Chain A
Amino acid sequence: MDIRELKKLENKRKMNKGYMWALFCAILWGIWYIPGTIIWALPPFDAMWINIADPTGAGTYENGTAATLVVAVLISAFNALTVILALLLWNGVLGKFGEMSRTLKEFHPCSKWFFLASIFGGPMAILGSFIAIGFIGAGFAAVAALLYPVIGSILARQWYGEQISKRAWAGIFVIIIGGLTIFVGGAIAEISAGSINYIGYVGGLMAALGWGIEGAIAGKGLDIAEPDVGITIRFLGENLIWWIILVPAVALAGYPIFEYAIQAFNPLSILVLGFAGITFGYCYVSWYKSFPLIGVGRGQGIGNLYGLCAVIFMYLFLAQVPAWTVLVGGALCVLGSFVMISEETGEAESLRGE
């Protein structure tokens, strides 16, 4: 085999590794919707929702919306906490604490990107996803965020010239049509039924925008940082946002969030939150590891298969069958992802226009 063939083979091996990481991400992300759904029904989160939604005990649930939002904040905060524990364990096993400390110190050129990514990934995307789960359901939340590679690909191109082929654009177009089917189809069905959980749709949109923007920002930081370290700094930022800013802000607004936070330390909740932390933490590791190898656009395109995985896992474990608009829209989004990733990458060594 000549050098040219060997180089081609090496490039292919590298791309396959990137696709493999992105596929791991999709599977783990899909599994995460199981603990992400179950946790709402566990103590103290179930009692927390009822006590806030129905303070008089009259069964009128007049504060239902506020209750769902406050519970979503506490669940998101705990999710971030268990994810950072899983990531610290991962970095410990890999012996990367030294690199983490070195990277953390380089705030201006490097770690600021991960802190910025944590704002879009945490209070925007993850909270949005939990809002969508709380108001509409996990199947909808999983599929609604499928629009995120569109945002990520466009931003990665605008911000740092990541190459997007015509075929990738075709995939993005199919994903947009799929996303519209999910949003508009679901909204029409709800309007005709006489009620619309518009906050749930806002949550879905927050997830799509948040994860798309996060990926593009993280891609910038990952130029000069190791992915395992970068993702841990990103979750360090998210924990600071939840536990130093947002959870105290909810408490100051008069909601008993700290009392329920303490009650969350019961074996069943710890087990389910731990499961959420492991699946979400390692799905994020895989996501970040795929970006430097195959680019943000392709990494997010393959990662998008999480929607399909989530619908399958939700059906298998929780017997949840989503609405037909979600299924059709989700199928289109997955089709768009396949169009994006099936392009011939040739011998391109770099993902950027050079």
Chain B
Amino acid sequence: MAQRPIKFRLLELFSDEKEHWNNEIVTQVQKEYNMNSNFGRDSINFDILELASGGMLKSVESKVDEDGVYKKGFLLHKYVITDFGKVRASDACLEYV
């Protein structure tokens, strides 16, 4: 799957309209794009942050990362795609249904 820009892939993963924790999505994309370093992890998470900042994803639940599944002590967010996100996903030829 690692043939499209990372933000495209992120929107595609959220296009199922289900809620996803950022750390789970980051782990999946790290594997797909072979970006297993900490820099790769943070870079993918930052892309998610930018998508949320741009109004394409919204956080519906948050919790503190007590177990260190992403980064100990940091906030984890559960995101869902917004209507605007669906439009941009559709623009990006994601064949959103």
Contact of A226 among B11, B47, B84, B91 (CB under 8 A): B47
- Whether the pair B53, A226 counts as a contact (CB closer than 8 A) is no
Q: Which residues 13-56 of B have a CB within 8 angstroms of A?
A: 33, 39, 47, 49-56
- Whether the pair A224, B88 counts as a contact (CB closer than 8 A) is yes
Given contacts A224-B11, A292-B50, whether A6 and B62 have CB atoms under 8 Å apart is: yes
Q: Which residues 96-147 of A have a CB within 8 angstroms of B?
A: 98-99, 102-103, 106, 108-110
Contact of A3 among B7, B51, B62, B92 (CB under 8 A): B62
Contact of A350 among B33, B52, B62 (CB under 8 A): B52
Judged by a CB distance under 8 angstroms, whether B97 is at the interface is no
Give the one of B5, B58, B75, B93 with max A CB within 10 A: B5
Shortest distance from the beta carbon of A2 to any chain B beta carbon, whole Å: 10
- Whether the pair B5, A7 counts as a contact (CB closer than 8 A) is no
Q: Which residues 58-97 of B have a CB within 8 angstroms of A?
A: 58-59, 62-64, 75, 82-84, 88, 91-93
A352 CA to B58 CA, complexed, in Å: 11
Judged by a CB distance under 8 angstroms, whether A62 is at the interface is no
A254 CA to B93 CA, complexed, in Å: 46
- Whether the pair B49, A109 counts as a contact (CB closer than 8 A) is no
- Whether the pair A106, B6 counts as a contact (CB closer than 8 A) is no
- Whether the pair B84, A352 counts as a contact (CB closer than 8 A) is yes
Given contacts A6-B75, A7-B75, A349-B58, whether A354 and B52 have CB atoms under 8 Å apart is: no
Given contacts A6-B75, A7-B75, A109-B91, whether A350 and B53 have CB atoms under 8 Å apart is: yes
Write out the residue numbers on chain A whose beta carbons fall within 8 Å of the beta carbon of B64: 3, 6
Judged by a CB distance under 8 angstroms, whether A293 is at the interface is yes
- Whether the pair B56, A223 counts as a contact (CB closer than 8 A) is yes
The size bracket of the interface on A is 20 to 34
- Whether the pair B55, A352 counts as a contact (CB closer than 8 A) is yes
Given contacts A350-B58, A354-B58, whether A10 and B75 have CB atoms under 8 Å apart is: yes
Judged by a CB distance under 8 angstroms, whether A332 is at the interface is no
Write out the residue numbers on chain B whose beta carbons fall within 8 Å of the beta carbon of A7: 59, 62, 75
Give the one of A99, A106, A109, A354 with max B CB within 10 A: A109
Judged by a CB distance under 8 angstroms, whether A48 is at the interface is no
A14 CA to B75 CA, complexed, in Å: 13
Judged by a CB distance under 8 angstroms, whether A225 is at the interface is yes
Give the one of A223, A225, A352 with max B CB within 10 A: A223
Shortest distance from the beta carbon of A347 to any chain B beta carbon, whole Å: 11
- Whether the pair A293, B92 counts as a contact (CB closer than 8 A) is no
Write out the residue numbers on chain B whose beta carbons fall within 8 Å of the beta carbon of A42: none
Write out the residue numbers on chain B whose beta carbons fall within 8 Å of the beta carbon of A110: 5, 8, 92
- Whether the pair B55, A350 counts as a contact (CB closer than 8 A) is yes
- Whether the pair B53, A224 counts as a contact (CB closer than 8 A) is no
- Whether the pair A99, B55 counts as a contact (CB closer than 8 A) is no
Q: List 11 A-B contacts (CB under 8 A).
A: A3-B64, A106-B92, A110-B92, A224-B8, A226-B7, A226-B47, A292-B50, A350-B82, A354-B58, A354-B82, A354-B83
